[in-house]
């Protein structure tokens, strides 16, 4: 055996021990021993014994038998055939590969050896062709799944106390759970700032995925039987704007409270037009919004139509320029209040007017509908909204309402939801209640 081949085989054996150490540290199996024989080189045998002893001491439960046999024509003068039988490799077989370029037809391998499992007699390199890699589920084996519920609650509430209440834990127990999760994920995850638990960059990056996974799992485990509304303690989260909340939620809250007093309805403001990310992640159950042709289609999101409505124009009674009739000239000469919750540059009405090569004069832009009634009632400004919104939010006694002096598309209000959660009995029941109050 030449010295060159000896060096490469020793280098390879050291890599074996190093990789076993990396992969199995933390798996507390009862260590066995390794037996290495039939080597033509006593120094190589000693190196191999030392390498496998390192692996064994790292916590590997395996029995290894190495036979070093001269192999004529191999790039190195040795070929090692290692037969491994163990609980660890039986579980992770196919994740650890050392293959000889001569006997396996693969190039640039770390160690000139062909590994096979004594239990199934399958060569490991035939099971997996991507080299050293952990089993795709191995991170989950080290993690208590209940810690993900703690993470999700803390991310949503930003408070240890609120998250502990939701998880039926004491604040101290939740803090201990958070510390365990910090160790498992090697990140602080949440930092106390100004009385709130603020997520770190890593927590922000994984929050939506964890929430979506928990939602999918919860939906998967739900029974397919009838939904018992009167016994339910579910929480349904709605992404809304001021307008969609005003026209849907008062009647929906009254109906749900009567039929299912244990159900909680939680409202959050839509952060963008679609709220698709929140729907797909499971952070919200429903997003109430209008359908608009100019917006991109919602891929992977399902919807149902709540109602259709017509746009109307409202001004205060006693308006100096608009009395019994609203003409296009009067509409364009008036100042206007517009509500743009996502700070969009222009809405549906403005796009239509631009297509007719005319523009209205916008005096006030609001991110919320809340103060619009006060502004309209105390000024000469006009506002254009769907009819249901005017009737729900404004004081009609002090208002004059007109049809627009030009054609407008219909307003279509829809409830959007993720198909992942949409088949659960609770979701089906809630959609029925939404349609019931919208049909009135």
Which of 113, 140, 167 lies at the terminal end of a domain, its last residue?
140
Pseudo-torsion of CA 390, 395, 398, 399, nearest 10°? 0
Q: Copy the structure tokens of residue 171.
A: 């604040």
Most confident of 5-14, 237-246, 270-279: 237-246
Q: Are residues 131 and 148 in the same domain?
A: no
pLDDT attached to residue 352: 86
Q: Copy the structure tokens of residue 150.
A: 């703690």
| Number of CB atoms found within 10 A of residue 56's CB | 21
Q: Are residues 211 and 163 in the same domain?
A: yes
Q: Are residues 15 and 103 in the same domain?
A: yes
Read off the pLDDT of each residue in 381-410 and give the average, rounded to a whole number.
91
Q: Copy the structure tokens of residue 143.
A: 């993690």
Instruction: State yes or no: pLDDT of 27 exceeds 70.
Output: no
- State the Cα angle at 147 between 145 and 151, rounded to 5°: 125
**The domain that contains 149 carries what CATH number?**
1.10.10.10
Q: What are 176-213's pLDDT values in tens digits? A: 999 999 988 889 999 999 889 999 999 999 988 887 77
Instruction: State yes or no: pLDDT of 223 exceeds 60.
Output: no
Q: Are residues 57 and 152 in the same domain?
A: no
pLDDT attached to residue 289: 87
Asked if 430 and 415 count as a contact pair (C-beta separation under 8 A), the reply is no
Q: Are residues 18 and 125 in the same domain?
A: yes
Mean pLDDT is lowest, of 110-114, 139-143, 294-298, 299-303, for 110-114
Task: Kindly indicate the confidence band of residue 70, based on its pLDDT and cuts at 50, 70 and 90.
Answer: very low
pLDDT attached to residue 274: 64
Task: Kindly indicate the confidence band of residue 146, based on its pLDDT and cuts at 50, 70 and 90.
Answer: confident
Instruction: State yes or no: pLDDT of 431 exceeds 50.
Output: yes
Task: Kindly indicate the confidence band of residue 105, based on its pLDDT and cuts at 50, 70 and 90.
Answer: very low
Spatial separation of the C-alpha atoms in residues 238 and 278, rounded to whole Å:
10
Read off the pLDDT of each residue in 234-259 and give the average, rounded to a whole number.
93
The better pLDDT of the pair 33, 263 is held by 263
pLDDT attached to residue 434: 96
Read off the pLDDT of each residue in 386-393 and give the average, rounded to a whole number.
90
pLDDT attached to residue 266: 93
Q: Are residues 385 and 250 in the same domain?
A: no
Task: Kindly indicate the confidence band of residue 298, based on its pLDDT and cuts at 50, 70 and 90.
Answer: low
pLDDT attached to residue 13: 41
Which of 107, 140, 173 lies at the terminal end of a domain, its last residue?
140
Sign of CA dihedral 387, 291, 341, 352: negative
Which of 140, 170, 199 lies at the terminal end of a domain, its last residue?
140
Q: Are residues 132 and 37 in the same domain?
A: yes
Instruction: State yes or no: pLDDT of 224 exceeds 50.
Output: yes
Look at the chain and count its residues: 440
Q: What percent of the chain is modeled with pLDDT above 70?
A: 62
Task: Kindly indicate the confidence band of residue 76, based on its pLDDT and cuts at 50, 70 and 90.
Answer: very low
Q: Are residues 7 and 105 in the same domain?
A: yes
Q: Are residues 31 and 126 in the same domain?
A: yes
Helices (H), 287-382: 328-333, 348-355, 372-377
Q: Are residues 325 and 374 in the same domain?
A: yes
Asked if 266 and 237 count as a contact pair (C-beta separation under 8 A), the reply is yes
Helices (H), 130-284: 138-141, 146-157, 160-166, 171-185, 201-221, 242-259, 276-281
Q: Are residues 76 and 186 in the same domain?
A: no
Average confidence score pLDDT of the chain: 72
Read out DSSP for 76-142? SSEEEEEEEEEHHHHHHTTS-----HHHH--SS-SSSEEEEETTT--BHHHH--S-S---TTHHHHT
Instruction: State yes or no: pLDDT of 123 exceeds 60.
Output: no
Residue 190 exposure: Cα atoms within 13 Å on the Cβ side = 26
What pairing do the DSSP bridges indicate for beta strands 382-386 and 335-339? Answer: parallel
Instruction: State yes or no: pLDDT of 4 exceeds 60.
Output: no
Number of domains within the chain: 4
Most confident of 14-23, 59-68, 104-113, 146-155: 146-155
Instruction: State yes or no: pLDDT of 271 exceeds 50.
Output: yes
Q: What are 343-377's pLDDT values in tens digits? A: 677 788 898 888 888 999 999 999 888 899 999 99
- Show the domain range for 38: 3-140
Q: What percent of the chain is modeled with pLDDT above 90?
A: 34
Q: Are residues 167 and 130 in the same domain?
A: no
Question: pTM for the full model?
Answer: 0.52
Most confident of 58-67, 164-173, 226-235: 164-173
For 61, 244, 410, the CA distances from 296, given in Å and listed in that order, are 55, 20, 18
């Amino acid at each position: 055996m030449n010295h060159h081949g000896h060096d490469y085989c020793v280098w390879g054996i050291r890599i074996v021990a190093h990789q076993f150490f990396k992969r199995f540290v933390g798996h507390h199996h009862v260590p066995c021993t390794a037996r290495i024989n039939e080597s033509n080189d006593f120094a190589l045998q000693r190196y191999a014994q030392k390498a496998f002893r390192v692996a064994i001491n790292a916590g590997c439960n395996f029995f290894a038998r190495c036979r070093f046999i001269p192999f004529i024509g191999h790039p190195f003068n040795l070929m090692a055939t290692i037969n491994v039988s163990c609980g660890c490799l039986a579980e992770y077989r196919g994740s650890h590969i050392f293959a000889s370029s001569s006997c396996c037809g693969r190039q640039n391998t770390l160690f000139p050896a062909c590994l096979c499992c004594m239990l199934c007699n399958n060569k490991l390199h035939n099971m997996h062709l991507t080299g050293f890699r952990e089993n795709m589920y191995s991170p989950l084996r080290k993690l208590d799944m209940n810690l993900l519920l703690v993470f999700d609650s803390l991310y949503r509430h930003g408070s240890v106390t609120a998250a502990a209440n939701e998880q039926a834990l004491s604040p101290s127990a939740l803090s201990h759970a958070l510390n365990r999760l910090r160790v498992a994920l090697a990140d602080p995850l949440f930092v106390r700032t100004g009385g709130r638990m603020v997520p770190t960059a890593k927590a922000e990056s994984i929050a939506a995925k964890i929430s979506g996974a928990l939602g999918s799992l919860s939906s998967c485990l739900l029974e397919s039987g009838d939904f018992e509304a009167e016994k339910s303690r579910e929480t349904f989260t709605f992404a809304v704007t001021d307008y969609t909340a005003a026209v849907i939620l008062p009647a929906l809250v009254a109906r749900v409270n009567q039929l299912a007093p244990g159900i909680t309805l939680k409202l959050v403001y839509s952060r963008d037009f679609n709220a698709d990310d929140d729907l797909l992640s499971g952070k919200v159950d429903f997003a109430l919004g209008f359908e608009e042709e100019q917006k991109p289609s919602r891929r992977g999101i399902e919807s149902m139509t709540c109602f259709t409505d017509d746009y109307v124009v409202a001004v205060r009674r006693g308006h100096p320029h608009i009395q019994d009739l609203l003409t296009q000239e009067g509409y364009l000469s008036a100042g206007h209040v517009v509500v743009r919750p996502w700070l969009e540059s222009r809405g549906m009405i403005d796009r239509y007017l631009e297509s007719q090569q005319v523009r209205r004069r916008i005096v006030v832009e609001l991110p919320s509908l809340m103060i619009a009634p006060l502004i309209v009632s105390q000024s000469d400004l006009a506002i254009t909204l769907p009819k249901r919104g005017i009737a729900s939010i404004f004081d009609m006694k002090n208002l004059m309402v007109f049809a627009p002096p030009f054609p407008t598309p219909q307003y279509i209000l829809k409830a959007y939801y993720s198909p992942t959660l949409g088949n659960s009995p609770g979701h089906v029941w809630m959609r029925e209640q939404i349609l019931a109050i919208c049909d009135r």
